[in-house]
Amino acid sequence: MTGRFMIGLVALLVCGPVDASDIVERAEATELRRSSGEVVPRVHRDDEGNVDRLMLNDMELTSEELAQLGQLSHLRALVLFGTDVVDDDLIALRECDRLEYLNLVGTEVTDRCIDTILEMKSLQAVCLGDVRVTPAGIERLKERNRHSPRERQLRWGYAPRVQ
């Protein structure tokens, strides 16, 4: 386990569980703008008010906040582009049974994240550009597709980090 994961685990044990509304409220309070200047909402809710899309790109996130994401049971799309997310931060996302789209471009994930990604049964697409995942890690994703029916195959985009 990484030090960052252990800190998050200790904080959870000492402070108790944290409500996912913390990270959602912070995302709602942080502006996201297109190059045109148009403000784009970071949080989208379904008709019942459940968070189903969350765009956390370029935000500084703590391991505690990332652990909260697993509580968002209606989450279908998550953008973590440009954050300092590491492999262990993705573990909580296994609890997001409806997660279909995950953007990890520009994060610190490595081949170790592939196991977690493969456990996300609803995941349909993952973006892995500018990450530390190697071609060997991507081969594991390809292997899953070789043994899956076409409608269950995972789509991905991949570009290794240029050193």
Residue 136's pLDDT is 95
pLDDT per residue rounded down to tens, the chain (163 residues): 555 544 444 444 444 455 788 999 999 999 899 999 999 999 999 999 999 999 999 999 999 999 999 999 999 999 999 999 999 999 999 999 999 999 999 999 999 999 999 999 999 999 999 999 999 999 999 998 888 888 888 999 999 888 7
Residue ranges per structural domain of the chain: 3-160
Q: Residues near 14 by Cβ (< 8 Å), separated by ≥ 6?
A: none
pTM summary value: 0.85
Residue 17's pLDDT is 52
d(Cα 48, Cα 65) in Å, to the nearest integer?
23
Residue 149's pLDDT is 85
Q: Given CATH 3.80.10.10, say whether it is the number of domain 3-160.
A: yes
Residue 103's pLDDT is 98
d(Cα 128, Cα 1) in Å, to the nearest integer?
22
